[in-house]
């Protein structure tokens, strides 16, 4: 990252964290230059960037001021403590499909979408890489790319882990059709119908759908919006329900945005290892951190081969290419075979193109831009929500990813918001789709991973009005 | 198809059918020209083509003679009548994986492979289409291509069915990661663990693996090498075992190469409709016919929406792209949702490229070449087997596809052949991988979908010797 980008990002983080609030004056260029020991032109570049992104504004002869921000935002919502003494037969698919359909409609502002805007990705660069790699593709790659997948791509993925300080042998990696297939294969590998699976609450609805489809039972363990799953509750559930697997997100959880610290991840893995319960770790958002470095996955603390670590390029680089992977520890062979007998392999052209793209370099630069854009977007979303939503609204302030988890003021039902908003051309993701018990009725998830513009802002204004109207 | 290609193909068919035998003299150019009312130069072109392909040879001043062929080949093997009164717990995966691994090894002559040679496909043409389509790909296609799949591609597939005289609305079609995923989704849609599924015997091993993985039971109905599944046995099994689904191949079955006639397909669909049992129809080889026109799928005779018709481009056009589809009749919505919750969608670049390729034209020309090549290969394989294999060997003579089903002389075990052949650098597919009961121990499947050359011929010679040696 260039020096001015570093400075811009660190100022944006301060705004997000509420250290810098709306109206605050930034240090003068001379001050900043001297205190940070960088050239005045670097400071200027950083300020220009932040001004272009709409986070600060220059007032003539006075300096730079924060235009909006997250100061004084409502506190994080508290976790909802679900009753975890009961097992749940999951039956949430119908509602989820209804909501998903709505996010796919053209002309609907996709605040309920699960994907960031494809315009944030280097699609033309990727397309050029694919165009050149496909034309020299070895005809036999259709055989070579059968599960476990393209050797170069697997090596590039292993290399990235190595650079982040995590040892994942490329031999362990199985390429899949996106992380969703990886997660499903993991679940199939370690459960049989009727078994119990431990999930967090709220949880990514795909976990609920998979559990429902396979005929498993779910134990929901409450999760905190800030630091994730409650380990005491998990221990209790492990002892009481003897689950066959635990499926959760450790980094920037969907929908909460929560992040487990390293100590907590370590404790989580130890607890599961003690009970010999495999962890299906969904880490698709791990690369989208706003801080200094990638948060480790729980996989980093695994000593027993019990962590099945899943990720993909769909949220960071290549939506629609459908290339994900799993590093399944001791279950590597089982997963490879499950993949072979269910979908055989991932698409060869997509595997080749991604392997080539990673090798060429440029991915890290893209990720830095993407992270910064998401951070700036989050600040603007929070700022807009503060302005337009009624008192009593509370929300999270995640350290990465592109989701806000919004608690609606009392008595407002998120399904009502969903219906009225959709009639007004806006989608949201209502809380009940993230719960086997259709709880979280007064929560919604908003996606800030779309390009900020007036249309988004006016949609948030409309949404705030809809919530206000529903309070009456 | 050009006139001379038509003539060449019809002569090749006569050789394959044994109407023309080794040493037979072809009609003179003048005769052929006059009897068929075509120009002498067209006849010359056809004869040149057949000569270049090694099926006929010119003797100076004498005319053209058949060099090899299928005359006097051993009769088709009879179907093996498995005991169908017993349900079978399927447990064949380990053996299948062992065999599959062997076909993937470099330097092994892949007579046991399930795929035709990728060199038979227009890969560079496809690559150019992909290169140009990916560079103008709408960024939002990652959303638009979510299940049920790319609209253009689905329309092109529906159009091909229409041209073949079959009405399949594009709305019914769900794009999948190859036919294998389509078949698995169908099975998941209509069964629950513990249910019984009706399959044919011998059967494609992937059906066995899926049944094993999902925890279903199999009823095997005997299938005839020539015209497929035994309907009397099927009726009996339907009444006795009340299966929840029937999974089979109607056109050029793997491994038999059998083809159900239209009347039989109609009777099959009627029988299943009477029992309200959905048919999972695997039709991946339907386009690889040697005759005049595409054999209809059973889907053509469905009046009740009970036929779930699966196919793909993997065997005809684009191996490794992993694009297949299913037209699931009344189960369309269920399948679309299963696809969404298991792997979300097929790879967008592959869908776009194939849609574009089909639209551009050229697919039918490629298919004509491919069919002719496969027909010529089959003749050469049969010719070589006659020369090199011991007396008592019998084999099928399919009307399409690229598999021969070979019955070994008594007392020779196909698993022994598999092991010895592999030690000699040749893979075969031994009979037991096609049976839940590991039957067909004296059968093997050979793939003639690779480019004919001396290496293939000498491998067949070696294989014949291995079989002879094992007789002693």
- Which residue, of B343, B363, B383, is where some domain finishes? B363
Average of pLDDT values for B341-347? 94
Q: Dihedral sign for Cα B397, B399, B402, B403, please.
A: negative
Q: Indicate if B340 and B376 belong to the same structural domain.
A: no
For residue B313, count CB atoms less than 10 angstroms from its CB and return exposed for 0-12, middle for 13-18, buried for 19 or more: buried
Q: What is the pLDDT of residue B18?
A: 77
Place of tokens 């290339």: A323
Last residue of a domain, one of A362, A377, A405: A362
Mean pLDDT of B290-312: 96
> Who's near B454: CB < 8 A, 6+ residues apart?
none
Q: Is residue B333 within 8 Å of B191, Cβ to Cβ?
A: no
- Does residue A221 sit in the same domain as residue A304? yes
From chain A, the residues in CB contact with B342 under 8 A are 180-181, 184, 210, 213
Tell me what the mean pLDDT of segment A342-366 comes to. 94
Least confident residue range of A92-96, A182-186, A340-344, B330-334: A92-96
DSSP B75: P
For residue B215, which residues of chain A lie inside 8 Å, CB to CB?
Answer: 192-193
CB B255 within 8 A of CB B202: yes
Does A55 share its domain with A94? Answer: no
pLDDT higher than 80, residue B33: yes
Per-residue pLDDT at A89: 66
pLDDT of residue B81: 41
- pLDDT range class, residue B85, cuts 50, 70, 90: very low
Per-residue confidence (pLDDT) for residue B141, from 0 to 100? 83
CATH classification of the domain holding A95: 3.90.1150.10
Say if B82 falls within a structural domain. no
pLDDT category of residue B329 using cuts at 50, 70 and 90:
very high
**What integer pLDDT is reported at residue A14 of this predicted model?**
84
Q: What is the mean pLDDT of residues A3-20?
A: 84
Tell me how crowded residue A5 is: count the other CB atoms within 10 A of its CB: 17
Crossing angle of the two packed helices A205-214 and A178-190, in degrees rounded to 10: 40
Nearest CB neighbour to A118, from listed B139, B323, B349: B139
Whether A146 is covered by a domain: the verdict is yes
Q: Residue B76: which pLDDT band, with cuts at 50, 70 and 90?
A: low
Q: Which residue of B has its CA nearest to A211?
A: B341
pLDDT of A9: 86
pLDDT computed for residue A83 by the predictor: 41
Could you give the number of structural domains in chain A?
Answer: 3
Q: How far is A114 from chain B (nearest CA, A)?
A: 10
ipTM for the assembly: 0.89
**Buried residues in B293-302 as b, exposed as e (16+ CB within 10 A):** ebbbbbbbbb
Model pLDDT for residues A31-45, shown as the tens digit of each residue: 888 888 889 999 988
Pairwise pLDDT comparison (A81 vs A362), residue with the higher score: A362
Residue A241 CB contacts under 8 Å (≥ 6 apart), including other chains: A87, A196, A198, A219
- Cβ–Cβ pairs < 8 A, chains A and B: 174
| A101, A155: one domain | no
Q: What is the pLDDT of residues A108-129, one digit of tens each?
A: 999 999 999 999 999 999 999 9
**Span A204-210, average pLDDT:** 93
CA A367/CA A294 separation, integer angstroms: 11
Asked if the model's pLDDT at residue A75 lies above 50, the reply is no
pLDDT for the residue B130: 94
Residues A127 and A112 in one domain: no
CA distances from B74 to A50, A71, A197, A302 (A): 81, 87, 57, 60
The answer on A106 and A228 residing in a single domain is no
Nearest 5°: the CA angle B50, B54, B56 is 60
Of A127, A137, A350, the CB nearest to B135: A127
Q: Tell me the mean pLDDT in the region B23-29.
A: 86
Contacts of B141 in chain A (CB under 8 A): 320
Q: What is the mean pLDDT of residues B340-365?
A: 94
Count other C-beta atoms under 10 Å from residue A167's C-beta.
10
- Choose between A281 and A89: higher pLDDT: A281
Task: State residue A401's pLDDT score.
Answer: 97
CB A15 within 8 A of CB A396: no
pLDDT of amino acid B75:
47
Give pLDDT tens digits for A59-70: 888 889 888 765
Query: Could you tell me where the DSSP H helices lie in A197-331?
Result: 205-214, 231-241, 262-274
Burial per residue of A366-394, b for 16 or more beta-carbon CB atoms within 10 angstroms, e otherwise: bbeebbbbbbbbbbbbbbbbbebbeeebb
Q: Comparing A80-94, A413-427, B75-89, B209-223, which segment has the lowest mean pLDDT?
A: B75-89
Residues B278-303: what's their mean pLDDT?
A: 96
pLDDT digits (tens, 9 = 90+) for B367-420: 999 999 999 999 999 999 999 999 999 999 999 999 999 999 978 999 999 999
Q: Report the residue of chain A nearest B139, measured CA to CA.
A: A118
- Burial profile B331-367: b = 16 or more Cβ within 10 angstroms, e = fewer: bbebbbbbbbbbbbbbbbbbbbbbbbbbeeeebeebb
Does a structural domain hold residue A231? yes
Specify the pLDDT at position B350: 96
Percentage of chain B lying above the pLDDT 90 cut:
70
In the block, tokens 């992937």 appear at B206
Higher pLDDT, residue B252 or B25: B252
By mean pLDDT, which of A9-18, A234-243, B194-203 is the weakest? A9-18
Residues A194 and A312 in one domain: yes
Tell me the two tokens of residue A131. 């165009």
Nearest CB to A142 within list B320, B337, B340: B320
Cβ neighbours of residue A224 under 8 Å, at least 6 residues apart?
Answer: A78, A79, A230, A256, A258
Label residue B51 by pLDDT band (50, 70, 90).
Answer: confident
- For residue B65, what is the enclosing H or E element? strand B63-66
With beta carbons under 8 A apart, name residues in chain B contacting A184. 341-343
Residues B150 and B153: their CA atoms lie apart, in Å, by 5
Q: What span, in angstroms and rounded, lies between the C-alpha atoms of A391 and A454?
A: 23
Domain presence at residue A46: yes
Whether residue B440 is predicted with pLDDT greater than 50 in this model: the reply is: yes
Q: What is the spatial distance between Cα A312 and Cα A326, in angstroms, rounded to a whole number?
A: 8
In terms of average pLDDT, the best of A60-64, B61-65, B203-207 is: B203-207
Q: Count CB-CB contacts under 10 A for residue B400.
A: 22
Stated as kind and residue range, the H or E segment containing B199 is strand B196-201
- Per CB-CB distance under 8 Å, the chain A contacts of B122 are none
- Residue A85's pLDDT band, with cuts at 50, 70 and 90, is very low
Helix A332-342, helix B205-214: angle, nearest 10: 120
Quote the domain boundaries for residue B418: 89-119+365-471
Cβ neighbours for A409, distance < 8 A, ≥ 6 positions apart: A390, A391, A392, A393, A442, A467, A471
Whether A344 sits inside 8 A of B139 (CB atoms) is no
Task: Determine which helix (DSSP H) or strand (DSSP E) holds B40, and give its type and residue range.
Answer: helix B40-52
Average pLDDT in chain B? 91
B69 close to B383: Cβ distance less than 8 angstroms: yes
Does any domain span residue B79?
no
Q: Quick check: is A78 in a domain?
A: no
Average pLDDT over residues B194-223: 93
Mean pLDDT of A3-16: 86
**B262 and B410 share one domain:** no
Rounded average pLDDT over A248-274 = 97
Residues B309 and B370 in one domain: no
- B320: closest chain A residue by CA: A142
DSSP structure string for B124-138: HHHHHHHHHHHHT--
Residue A437 pLDDT grade (very low, low, confident, very high; cuts 50, 70, 90): confident
| Together in a domain, A375 and A444 | yes
Torsion of CA A313, A316, A320, A325, to 10 degrees: 10
- Residue B81 domain-assigned (yes or no): no
pLDDT value, residue A421: 96
CATH number at residue A47: 1.10.10.10
The tokens describing B234, both together, are 């099927």
Helix (H, G, I), strand (E, B) or coil at B393: coil
pLDDT band at B292 (very low <50, low <70, confident <90, very high): confident
Cα B346 off chain centre by: 23
Residue B193 near residue B61 (C-beta atoms within 8 A) = no
Query: What's residue B87's pLDDT?
Result: 62
Give the pLDDT of residue B70.
56
Nearest to A299 by CA among A282, A313, A316: A282
CA A250 from chain center: how many Å? 10
Residue A22 has what DSSP assignment?
T
Whether B347 and A346 lie within 8 Å, measured CB to CB: yes
Which residues are within 8 A (CB) of A468 and not within 5 positions of it... i.e. 6 or more apart? A389, A390
Chain A residue with minimum CA distance to B141? A320
| Domain match, A336 and A377 both | no
The three-state secondary structure class of B140 is coil
CATH classification at residue A151: 3.40.640.10
Nearest to A253 by CA among A403, A381, A387, A109: A403
Domain boundary among A362, A381, A406: A362
């Amino acid at each position: 990252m260039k020096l001015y980008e570093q400075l811009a990002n660190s100022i944006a983080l301060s705004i997000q964290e509420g250290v810098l609030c709306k109206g605050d004056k930034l240090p003068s260029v001379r001050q900043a230059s001297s205190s940070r020991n960088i050239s005045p032109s670097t400071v200027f570049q950083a300020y220009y960037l932040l001004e272009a992104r709409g986070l600060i504004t220059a007032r003539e002869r006075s300096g730079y001021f924060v235009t909006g921000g997250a100061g004084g935002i409502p506190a994080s919502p508290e976790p909802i403590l679900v009753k975890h003494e009961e097992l749940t037969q999951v039956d949430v698919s119908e509602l989820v499909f209804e909501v998903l359909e709505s996010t796919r409609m053209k002309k609907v502002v996709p605040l309920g979408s699960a994907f960031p805007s494809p315009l944030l990705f280097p699609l033309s660069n990727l397309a050029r890489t694919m165009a050149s790699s496909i034309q020299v593709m070895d005809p036999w790659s259709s055989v070579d790319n059968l599960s476990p997948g393209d050797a170069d791509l697997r090596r590039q993925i292993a290399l990235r882990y190595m650079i982040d300080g995590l040892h994942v042998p490329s031999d362990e990696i199985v390429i899949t059709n996106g992380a969703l297939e990886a997660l499903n294969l993991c679940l199939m590998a370690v459960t049989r119908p009727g078994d119990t699976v431990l999930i967090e609450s709220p949880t990514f609805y795909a976990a609920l759908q998979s559990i429902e489809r396979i005929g498993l039972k779910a134990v929901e363990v409450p999760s905190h919006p800030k630091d994730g799953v409650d380990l005491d509750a998990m221990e209790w559930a492990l002892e009481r329900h003897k689950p066959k697997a635990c499926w959760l997100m450790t980094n920037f959880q969907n929908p909460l945005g929560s992040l487990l610290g390293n100590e907590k991840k370590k404790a989580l893995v130890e607890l599961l290892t003690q009970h010999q319960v495999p962890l299906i770790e969904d880490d698709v958002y791990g690369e989208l951190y706003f801080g200094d470095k990638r948060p480790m996955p729980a996989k980093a603390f695994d000593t027993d081969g019990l962590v099945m670590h899943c990720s993909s390029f769909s949220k960071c680089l290549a939506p629609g290419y459908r290339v994900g992977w799993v590093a399944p520890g001791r279950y590597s062979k089982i997963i490879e075979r499950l993949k072979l007998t269910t979908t055989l392999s991932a698409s060869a052209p997509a595997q080749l193109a991604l392997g080539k793209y990673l090798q060429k370099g440029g991915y890290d630069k893209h990720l830095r831009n993407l992270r910064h854009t998401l951070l700036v977007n989050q600040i603007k979303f929070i700022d807009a929500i503060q302005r337009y939503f009624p008192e009593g609204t509370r929300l999270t302030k995640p350290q990465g990813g592109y989701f806000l988890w919004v608690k609606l003021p009392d008595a407002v039902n998120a399904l009502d918001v969903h219906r009225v908003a959709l009639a007004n051309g806006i989608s949201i993701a209502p809380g009940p789709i993230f719960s086997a018990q259709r709880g979280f009725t007064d929560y919604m998830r908003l996606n800030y991973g779309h390009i900020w513009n007036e249309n988004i802002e006016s949609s948030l204004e409309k949404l705030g009005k809809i919530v206000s109207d529903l309070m009456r």
